[in-house]
Amino acid sequence: MSATIVDVSQPITDHEVNAIRRDFPALLESVNGEPLAYLDSAATAQRPHAVLDAERHFLEHHNAAVHRGAHTLAGLATEAYEDARSTVAAFVGAGPDEVVWTANATDALNLVAYGFANASHGRGGAAARRFALAPGDEIVVTEAEHHANLVPWQELAAVTGATLRFIPVNDSGVYSVGDAAAVLSSRTRIVALAHVSNVTGFVAPVAEIVALAHARGALVVLDACQSAPHRALDLPGLGVDFAAFSGHKMLGPTGIGVLYGRAELLDALPPFRTGGSMISTVTMTDADYLPAPQRFEAGTPPVSQAIALAEAVRYLQRIGLDRIERREELLAERMLVGLAGIPGIRTIGPGLGVPRAGLVSFDVDGVHGHDVGQYLDARGIAVRVGHHCAQPLHRRLGLISSTRASAYMYTTTDEVDRLLGSAHEVRRYFGAA
Amino acid sequence: MSDSLANLYQQVILDHARQRIGYGQLDHADAERFERNPTCGDEVMVRLALEQGTDRIASLAWQGAGCSISTASASVLAQLAEGLTLTELQSKIDAFRAMLRERGDVEPDEDVLGDAVAFQGVSKYVMRVKCAMLPWVAAEACRGSLT
Ligand SMILES: Cc1ncc(COP(=O)(O)O)c(C=O)c1O
């Protein structure tokens, strides 16, 4: 490619998207005789050749167990694995010791919740006392959370006697800093929230909520699943204490996720899973644990997945996170304006002009989400239908399910227009209009 | 594309999804059962009333929210069930289940299943078989509680 000057503040162009799409083999699939329009990247993203090749290359040339064994391949594998950690850590502004590999974001959030639970049972000694919860303490989530950032906190409340409270959302499914301030108090110990909602696309006022939480002595856990793939992230800059995200939503493999924790906190948090790879000395009655992050990585880890995730991060950095974010803003606006203009369609989430990620969930009056999804699928359009693992939010909005279209850097305006065209027809097909 | 879609959403199904035969409450029910599909959140409550002193179904009513497949399926079931004995109901449930499991290889018997034969196309959509079965599973549990 000849040298071109790219303005990094500008969205990816349609022309560039066409080039990017050639990197993603799955995007060339046909579905029901139509070219696939993959509008389900918020569930899982497609993977570029570079990522698929990196995993395969590792497996073909360097595959070995890490952090054990003295042979050459074991050394190469360990080096690649730890390099991957540094790459992913730098991607979110963190140090390598602040990044723990997990199975996915759900696993990462459980790791934190169970760390608190174990500390509450006296594990982790004096250093872990800051994590101990008791009756009277409060855990605060929002009403819009994915079940992955809700159910672990319900469990933590149940085993510690702490109270789970929530920041309520309005009829659009969003909340304000004021709504958060009304719920947080000196009893709040943990505030757990999504950076970007996987249903509404709402971008949380994270810095403001961190300030509120820290002023009351609470720690903040950020679910960054829908932000890490789509916008530049500086987790230390945001001030959050823990954060979680999944590899498969950011062009990487399944089976790998990330927990970020401020070094000082990770060093004090008791482990969740125990066993091999996380200990220094073991006797028949006792064990000493390694420092973070190894302390949280019991068992043989997902090595090739970590290496492929680092490649995904490099791919994202080559394209540029700011340019991806700008592009997705445009796509979101196109979807929102188009869908909101269709009689009988109600869009969920922030209105026009309010920041939102590249996804729109909507309800089609008189047609169930399952039927909408099936109708679109017959036209090659892949969307998500159901409650998107956010039942309380749907209940609050008076819905059992909704349809979600989500974009990524490789989404074309034509795909969005195909969605809009079919969405226009769906009520008539099912006799609702 | 339209062929495959029309095969799933037969006109009979689309009509039943709007007509909703048997939708509502019963003054008196001899059995009731609530079923939920955890993957999509669809739910249905099926209620059965027998003719006094017999095992013959006076009426089958249902309430709930779901996709057109599960709604139409409940409507078809309600239409079919009236006047059947519990044993006859069970044999229809068995035939319906068998049809959905056949993946379209066997021609279903319209004399046994009535409008329910329209659900044959559903058998090719693994993800939708549960939707179609939901009210029938509830009815089966009602029968089970009465025998
Ligand atoms: C906001 C949010 N949180 C958490 C998750 C859970 O991610 P995973 O299933 O990869 O653990 C998801 C993905 O579905 C999500 O969108």
Mark whether A389 is an active-site residue. yes
Residue A48 has what pLDDT? Answer: 98
At A101 the three-state DSSP class reads strand
Reported as a single tens digit per residue, the pLDDT across A82-123 is 999 999 999 999 999 999 999 999 999 999 999 999 999 999
> Pick the catalytic residue: A367, A389, A405, A419?
A389
Measured between beta carbons, which residues in chain A are less than 8 angstroms from residue B72? none
pLDDT truncated to tens, each residue of chain A (433 aa)?
445 667 778 999 999 999 999 999 999 999 999 999 999 999 999 999 999 999 999 999 999 999 887 899 999 999 999 999 999 999 999 999 999 999 999 999 999 999 999 999 999 999 999 999 999 999 999 999 999 999 999 999 999 999 999 999 999 999 999 999 999 999 999 999 999 999 999 999 999 999 999 999 999 999 999 999 999 999 999 999 999 999 999 999 999 999 999 999 999 999 999 999 999 999 999 999 999 999 999 999 999 999 999 999 999 999 999 999 999 999 999 999 999 999 999 999 999 989 999 999 999 999 999 999 999 999 999 999 988 999 999 999 999 889 999 999 999 999 999 999 999 999 999 988 8
Cβ-in-10-Å burial (0-12, 13-18, 19+) of A424 comes to middle
Locus of tokens 């059962």: B33
Q: How far is the CA of A152 from the centre of ligand 1 (A)?
A: 13
- List the domains of chain B with CATH numbers: 3-146 (3.90.1010.10)
Helix axes B126-146, B86-101, angle to 10 degrees: 160
CB B75 within 8 A of CB B16: yes
User: Ligand 1 in contact with A227 (CB < 6 A)?
Assistant: no
Interface of B with A in 63-92 (CB under 8 A): 65-69, 71
At B134 the three-state DSSP class reads helix
CATH superfamily, region A14-47+320-427: Aspartate Aminotransferase, domain 1 (3.90.1150.10)
Alpha-carbon distance values, B122 to A363, B5, B104 (Å): 24, 10, 9
Among A100, A104, A133, A107, which residue's Cα sits nearest to residue A291?
Answer: A100
- Cβ contacts below 8 Å, chain A against chain B, sum to 59
> Angle CA(B128)–CA(B134)–CA(B139) in degrees, nearest 5?
150
Measured between beta carbons, which residues in chain A are less than 8 angstroms from residue B69? 370-371
Phi and psi for B142 in degrees, rounded to 5?
Answer: -60, -45
Among A298, A242, A246, A302, which residue's Cα sits nearest to residue A272?
Answer: A298
Which residue ranges make up each domain of chain A? 14-47+320-427, 54-317
Work out whether strand A138-142 and strand A163-167 pair parallel, antiparallel, or are unpaired. Answer: parallel
Here the ipTM equals 0.87
At a CB cut-off of 8 Å and minimum separation 6, what does A234 contact? A92, A93
Task: Assess if CATH 3.40.640.10 describes domain A54-317.
Answer: yes
Residue B102 has what pLDDT? Answer: 79
- DSSP per-residue letters across A274-286: -STTSEEEE-SS-
Reported as a single tens digit per residue, the pLDDT across A273-328 is 999 999 999 999 999 999 999 999 999 999 999 999 999 999 999 999 999 999 99
